[in-house]
Amino acid sequence: MVKIREPEEKDLMHFTRYSIDFLHVASFERLTNEEVRNRKYWAADQFLAKNPNQKLLVADMNGRMIGYVLGIIESHGEEDVYGYVREVFVDEFYRREGIGTDLCDELIKWMYEQEAKAIQVSLRPHQNGVSEFIRKIGFSSVSTLYEYQSKE
C-alpha cells in the first residue's frame, strides 16, 4: 500500500538520488560532474525549504520513499494564482501502478486549497512518456513555447 505524505528526514538520500535520476531522464545529454553536484545541492535546498508556496510530497511504500512530486504556487496579480507542477518522479520499478497519479492528485488538491486559478506543467519536446502521463491525469495542451538558441 502506497501512502502519500510530507517528506521526513530519512527521505533526503532517496529524494537526492531520485532528483538526479529525474535530471537524467529530462536531459538529452550526459550530465557533467558539476551538474550532478549542483543537483545534489538543489535537492537539499528543496527538501529543507520552508516556503509556504512550495510543496514536496513523497510516495511511501513500507517506510521507503519510492517517488516524489514538487510544485509551487505563484501569484500574478491579486486574483491570478497559478499552481505549477515542477517535477514528478517515481522509481522505475514502481511505475505504471498509479503512484504518479496519486502524487499529482495530492499536489493538485493542495494547489486548489491555496486558491490556484489554474495548474500548469511544462514539458520538453522529447518527454513523450511524460506527456502521455500528464494527459492521462487530466492536463491538456494550451500552448507551445519556442525558444531561439544562438548558432554561435
pLDDT tens readout for residues 13-66: 999 999 888 887 777 678 888 988 998 988 898 888 888 999 999 999 999 999
Q: Is residue 144 part of a domain?
A: no
Our measurement of the distance from residue 136's CA atom to the centroid of its chain's CA atoms, rounded to an integer in Å, reads 16
What is the structure's pLDDT at 1?
A: 85
Helix axes 12-26, 33-48, angle to 10 degrees: 130
CA angle 121, 150, 21 (to 5 degrees): 40
pTM for the model stands at 0.82
Q: Is residue 141 part of a domain?
A: no
Q: Is residue 131 part of a domain?
A: yes
Query: How many domains does the chain contain in total?
Result: 1
Range of the domain at 97: 2-136
Query: What are 63-114's pLDDT values in tens digits?
Result: 999 999 999 898 877 778 888 888 888 998 998 898 988 999 999 999 899 9
Q: Is residue 143 part of a domain?
A: no
Q: Is residue 114 part of a domain?
A: yes
Q: Rounded to 10 degrees, what is the CA torsion of 38, 59, 24, 32?
A: 20
- Are the CB atoms for 7 and 58 separated by under 8 Å? yes
Between the alpha carbon of residue 3 and those of residues 19, 63, 98, 108, the distances in Å are 20, 9, 12, 16
Q: Residue 92's domain is classified under what CATH number?
A: 3.40.630.30
Q: Is residue 147 part of a domain?
A: no
Q: Is residue 94 part of a domain?
A: yes
Q: Is residue 149 part of a domain?
A: no
